[in-house]
Amino acid sequence: MIAGLTPSDWDIQLLDENFEKFQYTEADLVGITALTSASYRAYEIASLYRKNNIPVVLGGIHISMMPDEAEGYANSIVIGEAESVWNTLLNDFDKGTLKKRYYGELSSLTDRIFPRRDLFHSNYTYANIQTTRGCPLSCDFCSVHNFNGSKYRERPVKDVLDEMETIENERLFIIDDNLIGYTKKSTDRAIDLFKGMISRGIKKDWYCQASLNIADNEEVLEYAAKSGCRMILIGIESEKVDQLHETNKKINLRIGVNHYEEAFQRIHKHGISVLGALVFGLDSDSIEDIKNRTRFAIDSGIDAMQATIVTPLPGTALFKRLESENRLLYTNFPRDWERYHFHEVSHQPIKMTSDELSAAMDECWRTLWDEKTVYRKMLKTLKQTKNAKAATWAFTSNTERHNLAFGREKPALDIEKMLGNIKLSNYE
Ligand code: B12
Ligand code: SF4
């Protein structure tokens, strides 16, 4: 996106350490982005360039939440969304008057800025696209509302469709935090987007993130499915009402935990699978609760399972609370941010020791992504969605997590072996 904002007389190189080993490259100006868990690495690279007198600009969510920390590692930092300030920053750089800080405003999203996908590494399995920003909710563990604001902002549907037409990848991840939004108007806009994809012949398989109430709207599900939706990531968090209060996950309370299954079934009926995100290690969690939630994930209509440990990230209410209660386990920042990646216990739980939580999570992950469970889930998804692509997307997600949970101990799950004699064409 930053490259997309940059005037065309700049020569830009993009290095993504998810795919490529870092290689020092001469440059006039270096820009770095990082999530919290990668911020220390970002500072390392920034320091390397600055030692050689190459100016560095840092931006992104972590930098915006921790500007005082980040400032020490950069010539300039961008706090917030970059659209309103990036060109001013480049002009200042040209004039030799780079400022220490730039404060980006929330973008109107009407500027038709498309990411420079030509710069991407070729190994991305799917292409990302963003159609909205902002979230009016304020879940305890999340900093999105703090960063992107609580107003739900929408890109014009036409711009999104035009951008989609430029994407070569057959698979898309629509990265909006909630693709359907929070009002009838925003849900209608999502339907318009799906109808636009259909009428323009944009044939992609895609997945998205949405709140659980997407299941309440048959029309949105119908057009999502028709336009290629295979899976929806939904923040389920917990199957217990008091824990939804604890995490301030109000939207799930509206549906009610007793109606989760009906919601999953309605989504399945349209040939779409559910990626259910669950959170573990809440203050009210006992070891027994962790076992119960693991069981819930397996027995429920969730197809692809995501299970992470409560992690206090900067800018969240959770972080403030745990810090004030002296319950952060690692505070040697910025180095210790590397531990804040959702798969390591970084806070002191209440009903158990941190080692007990860690052991319980190892057991949870190995139970969830045990080979037999993952195969059974695949068959269940196929039966419920009657859609081979939806089942394959969910299976692939579980497979990735199986391989993470078991590492080299067990060989990777084999989709060919799994599918065996099933005639997938019957399910499309
Ligand atoms: C897409 C996404 C993913 C994708 C990423 C795919 C990819 N390769 O890009 C996937 C699913 C893989 C993913 C994974 C994870 N994610 Co994620 N993800 C997102 C999501 C939904 C959108 C991010 C995005 O692309 N936005 C669009 C771009 C345009 O916005 P942006 O990055 O904010 O950039 C703007 C500004 O920040 C600024 N800016 C950003 N960088 C820079 C750099 C410079 C130099 C400048 C000037 C400006 C600038 O300008 C941009 C334009 O305005 C966000 C939620 C959100 N709403 O932001 C969570 C989010 C970023 N993810 C988050 C997390 C925690 C994770 C995981 C750790 C989760 C996990 N348990 O494993 C992993 C880590 C992955 C990794 N390798 O590091 C958190 C990060 C919080 C934090 N403080 O770090 C977020 C904010 C979600 C949340 N609810 O809190 N994620
Ligand atoms: S977790 Fe999702 S719904 Fe909750 S505040 Fe963050 S973006 Fe909004």
Q: What is the mean pLDDT of residues 110-116?
A: 97
Q: Could you report how far apart the first and last alpha carbons of the chain are, in Å?
A: 35
Q: Is the pLDDT assigned to residue 13 strictly greater than 90?
A: yes
Residue with tokens 């006039």: 28
Test site for ligand 1: of 5, 35, 340, most ligand atoms within 8 A of the Cβ: 35
Q: What are the two backbone dihedrals, phi and then psi, of residue 279, each rounded to the nearest 5 degrees?
A: -120, 140
- Taking CA atoms only, the protein residue closest to ligand 1 atom 79 is 35
Beta sheet of 56-59, edge-to-edge order: 30-33, 56-59, 76-79, 101-103
Cα torsion through 314, 320, 324, 330, rounded to 10? -20
User: What pLDDT, on a 0 to 100 scale, did the predictor assign at position 409?
Assistant: 66
Which two three-digit tokens encode residue 324?
């004030």
234 CA to centre of ligand 2 in angstroms? 10
CATH 3.40.50.280 placement within the chain: 2-103
CB 296 within 8 A of CB 261: no
| pLDDT tens track for 265-282 | 999 999 999 999 999 999
Closest ligand 2 atom number to CA of residue 145:
5
142 CA to centre of ligand 2 in angstroms? 6
Closest ligand 2 atom number to CA of residue 136:
8
Amino acid at 44: E
| pLDDT tens track for 74-92 | 999 999 999 999 999 999 9
State how far Cα 225 lies from the chain centre: 21
Which two three-digit tokens encode residue 247?
């995490």
User: What pLDDT, on a 0 to 100 scale, did the predictor assign at position 406?
Assistant: 87
In words, the CATH class of domain 125-427 is alpha beta
Q: What is the mean pLDDT of residues 48-73?
A: 98
Cα torsion angle, 379, 384, 387, 391, sign = negative
Q: What is the mean pLDDT of residues 229-249?
A: 94
**Which of the residue ranges 68-72, 253-257, 326-330, 368-372 would you say has the lowest mean pLDDT?**
253-257
| pLDDT tens track for 177-234 | 999 999 999 999 999 999 999 999 999 999 999 999 999 999 999 999 999 999 999 9
Closest ligand 2 atom number to CA of residue 138:
5
DSSP single-letter state for residue 298: H
CB 197 within 8 A of CB 227: yes
User: What pLDDT, on a 0 to 100 scale, did the predictor assign at position 250?
Assistant: 84
Question: What are the distances in angstroms from CA 150 to CA 132, 146, 182, 275, 382?
Answer: 12, 7, 11, 25, 37
Q: What is the mean pLDDT of residues 25-36?
A: 97
35 CA to centre of ligand 1 in angstroms? 6
133 CA to centre of ligand 2 in angstroms? 11
For residues 297 and 424, the model is more confident at: 297
146 CA to centre of ligand 2 in angstroms? 10
Q: What is the mean pLDDT of residues 28-48?
A: 98
Domain 2-103 has CATH 3.40.190.10: no
**Average pLDDT score, the chain:** 95
User: What pLDDT, on a 0 to 100 scale, did the predictor assign at position 420?
Assistant: 62
User: What pLDDT, on a 0 to 100 scale, did the predictor assign at position 392?
Assistant: 93
| pLDDT tens track for 390-428 | 999 999 999 999 988 887 666 666 666 666 656 665 665
Test site for ligand 1: of 169, 175, 280, most ligand atoms within 8 A of the Cβ: 175
- Taking CA atoms only, the protein residue closest to ligand 2 atom 3 is 137
Q: What is the mean pLDDT of residues 132-144?
A: 94
Rounded to two decimals, the pTM is 0.96
CA–CA separation, 88 vs 96, rounded Å?
Answer: 12
CA–CA separation, 327 vs 127, rounded Å?
Answer: 39
Closest CA to 397 of 250, 285, 277: 277
User: What pLDDT, on a 0 to 100 scale, did the predictor assign at position 417?
Assistant: 67
User: What pLDDT, on a 0 to 100 scale, did the predictor assign at position 419?
Assistant: 65
Q: What angle do CA 167, 173, 179 make, to 5 degrees?
A: 115
Pocket-forming residues, ligand 1, beta carbon under 6 Å: 1-2, 18, 31-33, 35-38, 57-62, 78, 81-83, 128, 130, 142-144, 148, 175, 177, 308, 313, 341-342
Residue 142 near ligand 2, beta carbon < 6 Å = yes
For residues 138 and 288, the model is more confident at: 288
Type and span of the H or E element at 205: strand 205-209
CATH 3.80.30.20 placement within the chain: 125-427
**H helices present in 276-338, as ranges:** 287-299, 317-324
38 backbone φψ class: left, alpha, beta (φ>0; ψ -120 to 50): alpha
Q: What angle do CA 294, 296, 301 make, to 5 degrees?
A: 125
